[in-house]
Structure formats: structure tokens, C-alpha cells
Structure 1
Amino acid sequence: MNTDIENLFKDTVLGHPVGLFILFFTEMWERFSFYGMRILLILFLTAPMMSDNPGWDWPREHALALIGTYASLLYLTPIVGGWVADKITGYRVAVIIGCLVMTLGHAAMAFDTTITFYIGLALLVIGTGFFKPNITSIISEMYKTRESKKDGAYTIFYMGVNAGAFFGMMLCGYLAENYGWHWGFGLAGIFMLLGMLQFMLAHQIFGKIGDKPGRKEEVVLSDTIDESNLAEIKLNPFTTFDYVLIVLSSVGGLLYLFNDPLEVIYSKSLVPFEIAGMSGTNIVVLAALALFLILLITRIARYLPIVRDRLIAVTIFALFTVFFFAFFEQSLGSMTLFASDYTDRSLTGNSATIFKIVDGLLTTIPLIIITYVITLIFKKTFTKIGASNIILAIAFIGVWGLVIFRLYDKFSQTEMTVDATWFGILNSFFIITLAPVFSKWWESKYNPSAAMKYGIGLVLLGFGFAILSYGAADIPPGARTASVSMIFLILAYLFHTMGELCLSPLGLSYLSKLVPARMIGFMFGVWYLAIAVGQKAANTMGGMIDKISEQYSLGTFFLIFAIIPVIVGIVSMALNPLLKRLMHGVR
């Protein structure tokens, strides 16, 4: 019996150990800082130099090329960070390293210089690699003997993710848009620092949980895999050829990620050559893709039929994931630009009053609930981790102070302008409110198959863009500003969030059920790679907003983003019978 786990479960809040809520708030502050900074990037980079709140005045294509590489790397470094924690540091130390590096990254971005901005982005990418995979691994260890409570624990934890994103985008965005970009970047760094201190000062409560693992984690395989398949899994190690392909495809992919913004922004190239009219960048990325496909095909081919079929199913789902994120992550780029430049955000009279009331309720009700949870934690743990609790209290006093200041500022205005960053909070709000509904759907007898869920998610995503396309239909070609009703953007976020709830949370769940033990780490890497490719594709396509809107219209730009996901979603539904056969009974 693990005495550290038993000790954790002696002091519980809402039926879960206090340690879960330490992780909850650590994740909340990290997501506060991450999303609070992320929502500012496109606005800061494209803001005119000659304005009340000057930015860098970059062309949209340049800004999105940089953001695409940054967003992609955020999903690649966790593969390395998880390995380092497993082999060298342990999960808790890795989380602290990640928090410290990210704090330094946010601090660097608070200075308005080019070099500190790039250093800040690099540190955030590295820090996320240490933080992201390892804080969830601590939860997995905590509930090793309480499997029946693990789903509830992750549900609470991901509420922390969305609460942090909600308040981060709201408060960092408010300060940045109204008082200066460095205030928004700086606030993100302050709360990252508080999150790190809170976790460090409470680490002893976990005992040895999260220390360097002394053994490999067990992977539960489906009962339908027989002993011959298990033997085949154990006899399928990575070959030298596999490792060569991994290295070459990784180097090629990273070379493309760094070279793309370098070419777009500075007209320089790490691969300055052409072959048959094709640029070095395109040659490198196509070669990397070809090598990776060879690796995937040859590796999967070495398994017995049932395992091989399931791995093929995972690969198909990963392809659909690329398409989903390539369009969904327009929220980081083109949709934020639409909110800033093409949406009528001015409110007067009754509409302003209604917005202020709704905004006030959206802000204060979650804070009241979380503050209540904090009081329960204080009662249980103040004698054990008093210093950590004090840091947590300081952080929440700060949040309350900023929220009250923001609400007072908004309520004192007779005519008000909604911040462009405010629309970013809608995704978190809709997730929190709609997740229980979708969870009940998945638990009912009407629970769709995996392929149908992917299809529904992609179609809903397309509907969201169709609404934006309709709203932007009257904007003339080449227009840089417009005054479209904000209802179109709100509805688009609603449909996109419903699509996300159909697809995004399910990917890793299906992967863990379908992938054999020997290949679990590799396929998790493939999955994160699929999301990374989607992130880069999202911003590459988003960077075409000016070119397409000038040649055709902004409505046409969003119509393209509506049609393709719907088509891919219908393809997913059509493949449902095939994918069911490939999954061999796994649901």
C-alpha cells in the first residue's frame, strides 16, 4: 500500500484530496499566464506604431507566421519534457522547472524590445515542455489506487484550466488594450510566479508522489488482445532504421518551423536553394513528411493484424485532428483580428447596461465559487502548508482587486467598447457550461461512435465559420475595418466550442485504448505532432486573410473555412463502418 497516497486522502475537499486542489491552482495560474499572453500576441504584433497603444505594426501574414511556429513548438516540447521527467528529474521537479522558466519568459516579454520578445517566446516554449505533461502525471500517480475517482479528479482539474484561461484572457487583455501591452504581458508573468511559489511551498504534502519514477507505468490493453499479440508487442523494438527516420524527420520538421517565419518576416532562409522551381523550405518539409510516413507505415506493418488495424485507426483519427485544429485555432489569429478590426464593439444605452450585468455575473460568480473552495482548503491545510496558502490568498486578492477595478471602470462608462480580447473568454465559458451536457450524452445509449463524434465536431466547426462568413458578407473586398454585429462572433465561438467538446477531449482517450504498450509513447508523440501540424497550418492559412479578402472578400475567406471542415466531417462519418472494423470492438 502506498502510504503517501493514503495520507493524501485523509484530508479531502469536495471528496478529493487537498493535493488535487494544489495542482488545480498551479494549473490555473499557469493557464492564466499562458492564455493571457497568447490572446495578446496577434493584436500586439499588428497594432499600428502611431496609435494610443502602439504595437509593432507587422503585416498580418508576418505575425501569424511567427505565432504558428510558436504554437506548434508548444505541442512538441512536452514530448521531450515528459521524457526528461521520467528519466531524470521526476514530475514535481519538472513542474517547478517549467514554472520558473515560464516566469522568466513572461518577464522578458514585459520589455518592449525585439530581443527580449523572442527570448520570452523561447523560454515559454521550453517551460511549457516541462510543465504541461508532468502536472497531469502527478494526478495519475495520486489516483493510482482510486481509479474510480480519477475521472472526477480530471474534471475538477480541467475546470482549473478553463478558469485560468477565462480570467487570464479577460484581465491581461483588459490591461493590455486599455493601459499598454507591457501591462498585459507583465500581469501574466506575475501570476505565473505566484503559481510557482504556491506549488513549491506545498510540495511536501505529496510525499514521494511525483518523484523520479522507479519503473515504467503499466498500460492497460484491451481484453481482445490475446497472448500471441502481447508477445508480438514485446518483440517489436525500435530498430536503428527507425531511429534514423525519427531523427531525420524531426530535424526536417524543426528546420521548417524555424525557417518559415524567418523567410516570411526577414526574407532570409536556412535552406537557400531551389530544385525544379521548388523552394528549399518546401523540399525540406515534404522530405520530412515522407520520412515520417515511411517510419509510421513500416513500424505499424510489423504488428499482428488486430494491433495493426487499431494503429491504422489511430492514424486516421490523427489526420482528422490535424484538420480540426488547422481550422479551430483560427481563434488565435483571424478570429481575433475579426474581433478587433471588423466587429462593432461599441455599446450604448440598454445594450451597454445588459452587457455590463452579464459580464459582471460571468466574472464574479466563478470567483465566488473558487474563493469558497479556497476557504475549505485553508481549514484543512493551513497548519501544514500555511506559506503556500498565503501565496494563494495573495493571488486571489489580486484577482478580486483587478476584477473589481475592471467592473468599476466598465460600469462608470455610459458608452463602452467591448475589448477585442473579451471574445476569447467565450470558449472557456461555453466549455464550462456545456461540458456536463456533452458528458451526459456520451454516457447515454445515444453515445455516437468515434468516427461520428469526429464528424459531428468538424461539421459544427464548419457551421461556426459559415455564421462568420454570413456576417462578413457585406464587407467590401480589401476593407481593413468594418462594423459587423458581435452576435456573429459569439455564435461562431458557441459552435466551435461544441465541436471541440465532440472531438478534442476524446483523442487521447481513444489512443490509450487502441495503442499497444510498446508503442504508447511513440503514438502519443504522433498525436502531439498532429496537433502541432494543425497549429502551424492554422496560422499559415490564417495569414492568407489579407490576400483572399483583397482579391475576393472576407466573407469568402471564412466561407473556405466553413466548407472544408464540413466536407472532412462528412468523410469521417462515411468512414464510420471501416473505422469500427479497424477498432475491433474498442469504443
Structure 2
Amino acid sequence: MSSDAPVGARPPAGKTFFGHPRALSTLFLTEMWERFSFYGMRAILVLYLTAAVADGGLDLGESSANAVYGTYNAMVYLMALPGGWVADRLIGARRSVLWGGVVIAAGHYVMAIPTGWSVFAGMALIVLGTGLLKPNISTMVGDLYERDSPRRDAGFSIFYMGINLGAFIAPLITGFLGEKINWHLGFGAAAVGMTFGVLQYVLGRRNLGEAGARPADPLLGADRRRALTRVGVASVVVLAVLLVLLVAGWFTVDTVVNLLTVVTVLVTVGYFARILTDREISGTERSRMKAYVWLFLFAASFWLIYDQAGSVLNIFAADQTDRWVGGFTFPASWLQSVNPILIIIGAPLAAALWLKLGHRVSTPTKFAVGLVLNGLSFVLMAAAAQAAVGGDLVSPLWLVAVYAIQVAGELSLSPVGLSATTKLAPVMYASQMLGLWFLATAVGDAIGGQVARLAGTWSQPVYFLTFGLASVVLGLAAVMFTRQIRHLMAGIH
């Protein structure tokens, strides 16, 4: 994430937003509406994919639907890498965010078309648009402050509140419309939300000054033509592969999902190989990157379980929980709002805890706590699934408790991992490491989508208990190797 914007990039003085630059309100609302659209659509995606055709769904089958969901999430985070490159080298963060928002809105509008093909075409557009918007809007928030400004962290805290506010509100609206009225109406609500985000971003652009107006390291002349040629060739290759799959009769949902999973893993391996074999980084930096490999694997394992909230756990909420309250059966997707509201409540508490503990608890230990808590959430889910054996509906409070444990785990790992990413980064790769952190989520979601296929074939108690205990064991193993990892971190806590 770029933060060394020149003084001229600061937004104009004038009215403030909670004591911060007025531009923060524009970026806050853009991110809030983008997250509204993202989490709103995601809350009903698997439910729509698995719903019977008679109920307006695709009747895709639980295993394939879970894999599609995981791969979609993976692609969103994977595309943050080229999205950041486009902004840094070609068009700048400001235009990247604008065009990203437009493409995202278009994707949701496509999904609102009541046909079978629209959901996949719409998801492809949303992936491309989110890759442009997601990494670059954070860059613009950083550009509002000097690197050492005491208000910088507070500004990001306000900005991230927008993320969780949008994520909290979205399922309540899209879930009701999608589950109770029409699935495509729910997708349409997500489109309207993103449209609001784009409109207020355009209207508020005067607040941004020069922040994000130009590429940080623009490609010029022959270098630009060469880069665009490579992008064109890569696009042709991708289209050729898809055409071959189509002609050969292999262009199926499962084939594409499997192919994208492999691509995600290979990109990640190639990225790490490039950094670790670079002769221009120092021995200390290489050692720290070796430590980061372990933290990356821990994080990917965490997201593999955590992000099944919108797939396996969402289906459980729809089929096996008693949602009858006061004469009304509330939509299963409403439970997707539990996670963000718990984060809003828990984030300041976690921040205060880590501040009080200081360096007494190391980064690898915090990762281990996250893994153990994540695993325990699935152990609890195994108990919930056992209670539902035989067709009995269980209380939704089981899922609320599971999400509470997972949020505690997330607050132990996610913000800590982001901080560790910036501290362990080699100097010459500092601006690229945020993209590498996004890759941890991409890998976890891609593999998690494949793992979630087993939820449709294994008994639910066995599924949850197996992967829950695996995460707990991995967390305990991380504790055992904390000293070795800290040694590789070479003085970084």
C-alpha cells in the first residue's frame, strides 16, 4: 500500500470528517457501498446456486456450489495483484477505483437478469472490478496523510468501519429480497448499492485533491507499449484456453473452478519463488521472507475454514436451523450479518489488548491463537451438526456462537498479519507485499472451495470435526515452532 504521496497530493483544506480530511468521507462511503454490494451478493450466492429450479435457483448441487463460492472469493483477492499494477503503472488509483466501481455495478446488474447464465457472467465482471477498486482505495486513504501522521491509524480505523457497516447492512436487505421475493431482485439490490457508491465517489471527487490522481510509477513510451502488448497476449491466451475447453466439451462449472484453483496456487508459488531467489535482497530480508512463508501458510489455512461461513455454514443455516421468530421465518442469509457486527464490537477491544500485551506475545503466537480458535469454532459446529442429525432444527444461536469464536480468531490473525506483512517485506518489494497478503486469502478460499465439496459427501459432524481438529493441531504446532519462526524474523516482533 503506497503511503509516500507528495505534499501536493494532499486533499484541499476545509471541512473535515470526524476531524479527518473531508476526502475520507468520500472514500469511506465508496468502500461502504462496495462492501454492501459484495457481501450482499455473497450472502445469497450459494443459496441461489443450490435452490431448486422451481424456486428460481440453479439447482447446482451443494458440492459444486461450495466450490464456485470459494473460487469466486479467491479470484476477487487474486485480482488485487494486477489491479494494483494497473493503478501504479498505467492509470492511477483514482481512475482505477472509478472504473472498478463501474464494472462491479455492471456485474451486479448482469446478475439481476433472470437467466441461468447471468450469475457467472456477472461474477466475472465483479471479480475484475473488485481487483481494480479494492487495493487502490486503501492506497488513496494512505495518500490523505503524511507517513508519520498520528491521525493515520485513526483514519484507517474509520475507513474500516465502513467495510463492516456495509457488510452488516447488506445481508439484511439482499437476503430478504432474494430469499423471500426473488433471487435476482436481491442481486439487483447489490447493484443499486454499488451505483450509490459510484455516484457519491464522482460527486465527491473535488474533495480528493491530487490524491491518487496519477500513477505512482508510470510506464512510458516503449515500456508502456511492451507491457500493453503482454497484457493483450495474455488475454488472447486465456480466451484461447476457454475456447478449447468449449470446443472439447470440457467447459463446465467444475472444470473452470478446478482450473482457477490451480492457477491461484501456481501464481502464489511463483510469486514467493521470485522474491526468495532475487539476488538483490539481503540475507536478513531473505530470512524474514522465509518466516513470512510460514505465516502465509497459517493465514491461508485460517481463511480455508473461516470463509466457509458464506457457503457450508450458510447452507446449514438455511436447511438445519430453526429461524421461526414471532410468527416470521427470517432469511438464513441474515445470519451473515453477525460476523461484521461482532467485528465492529470486538476490533477496539482486540486493539487495546494487543497494545497492553506489547511484545510479550509474538506475531507467530497470535497466528497460532487465531488457528486454534478457528478450529474450535468448527468443533462447536460438529456438535451443532450432531444435534441436527435426524432432521431436527437447531437454534441459530449455535451459529452465532461459532461466528463469535471465528471473529475472535480473525482479530488475532488478520490485522496482525497485515502489520507483519509491512514489517517483514524486503525494501524493494514493499509496495507489492499487500498484494501478497491478499494472496493468502485467495489460496485459502480456492482450496477451501475444493475442501467444501466434502461437506456434501461426508457426514456433517465428521466434516466439521475433522477440519476443526486439523486447525487446532496446526495452531498448536505453530506454538511449538514459534521460537524458530521468530529467529527467522530477525528482530521483528
TM-score category by the smaller chain?
0.7 to 0.9
Q: Does 1:17 align with 2:43?
A: no
One-letter code of the match for 1:464?
Answer: S
Q: Does 1:578 align with 2:479?
A: no
Query: SS at 1:444's partner residue?
Result: helix
Q: Does 1:119 align with 2:121?
A: yes
Alignment equivalent of 2:401, drawn from 475, 491, 497: 491
Q: Does 1:342 align with 2:320?
A: yes
Q: Give runs of aligned pairs for residues 165-184 of structure 1, distance below 5 A.
A: 165-184=167-186
- Which residue matches 2:198? 196
One-letter code of the match for 1:488?
Answer: W
Alignment equivalent of 2:295, drawn from 317, 320, 338: 317
Q: Calculate the aligned-residue CA RMSD, in Å.
A: 3.0
Q: Give runs of aligned pairs for residues 260-275 of structure 1, distance below 5 A.
A: 265=252
Q: Distance in 2 between matches of 1:281 and 1:419?
A: 31
Assess if the C-alpha contact under 8 Å between 1:48 and 1:57 holds in 2.
yes
Q: Distance in 2 between matches of 1:521 and 1:421?
A: 36
- Which residue matches 2:369? 456
The CA deviation string for residues 283-328 of structure 1, in whole angstroms up to 9 with x for no partner, is 98887777666545433x7643321211111111111111001111
After TM superposition, the score normalised by the length of structure 1 is 0.74
One-letter code of the match for 1:582?
Answer: L
Cα distance, 1:191 vs. partner?
Answer: 1.2
Alignment equivalent of 1:102, drawn from 96, 101, 104: 104
Assess if the C-alpha contact under 8 Å between 2:11 and 2:144 holds in 1.
no
Relative to 1, partners in 2 of residues 1:302 and 1:319: Cα closer, same or farther, differing over 3 Å? farther
After TM superposition, the score normalised by the length of structure 2 is 0.87
Moved more, 37-46 or 15-24: 15-24
Assess if the C-alpha contact under 8 Å between 2:112 and 2:187 holds in 1.
yes
Query: SS at 2:57's partner residue?
Result: coil
Q: Does 1:512 align with 2:422?
A: yes
Alignment equivalent of 1:561, drawn from 452, 464, 467: 467
Relative to 1, partners in 2 of residues 1:579 and 1:214: Cα closer, same or farther, differing over 3 Å? closer
Relative to 1, partners in 2 of residues 1:150 and 1:269: Cα closer, same or farther, differing over 3 Å? closer
Q: Distance in 1 between matches of 2:257 and 2:265?
A: 16
Q: Distance in 1 between matches of 2:346 and 2:362?
A: 20
Q: Distance in 1 between matches of 2:39 and 2:254?
A: 30
Relative to 1, partners in 2 of residues 1:83 and 1:442: Cα closer, same or farther, differing over 3 Å? same
Q: Distance in 1 between matches of 2:418 and 2:357?
A: 22
Query: SS at 2:214's partner residue?
Result: coil
Q: Distance in 2 between matches of 1:270 and 1:464?
A: 27
Q: Does 1:38 align with 2:42?
A: yes
Cα distance, 1:213 vs. partner?
Answer: 3.6
Q: Distance in 2 between matches of 1:284 and 1:97?
A: 25
Query: SS at 1:55's partner residue?
Result: coil
Alignment equivalent of 2:286, drawn from 294, 308, 324: 308
Cα distance, 1:430 vs. partner?
Answer: 0.5
- Which residue matches 2:187? 185
Relative to 1, partners in 2 of residues 1:87 and 1:63: Cα closer, same or farther, differing over 3 Å? same
Alignment equivalent of 1:472, drawn from 373, 378, 385: 385
Q: Give runs of aligned pairs for residues 394-433 of structure 1, distance below 5 A.
A: 415-433=327-345
Assess if the C-alpha contact under 8 Å between 2:11 and 2:210 holds in 1.
no
Assess if the C-alpha contact under 8 Å between 2:74 and 2:446 holds in 1.
yes
Query: SS at 2:54's partner residue?
Result: coil
Q: Give runs of aligned pairs for residues 238-387 of structure 1, distance below 5 A.
A: 265=252, 294-295=273-274, 297-299=276-278, 303-347=281-325, 352=326
Cα distance, 1:583 vs. partner?
Answer: 1.5
One-letter code of the match for 2:350?
Answer: F
Q: Distance in 2 between matches of 1:191 and 1:516?
A: 39
Alignment equivalent of 2:12, drawn from 7, 10, 14: 7
Q: Distance in 1 between matches of 2:425 and 2:98?
A: 31
5+ residue gaps, structure 2: 1-5, 219-229
Q: Distance in 1 between matches of 2:191 and 2:432?
A: 33
Percent of aligned positions with the same letter in both sequences? 34
Relative to 1, partners in 2 of residues 1:267 and 1:290: Cα closer, same or farther, differing over 3 Å? closer
Q: Distance in 2 between matches of 1:322 and 1:281?
A: 16
Relative to 1, partners in 2 of residues 1:124 and 1:439: Cα closer, same or farther, differing over 3 Å? same
Q: Distance in 2 between matches of 1:214 and 1:573?
A: 40
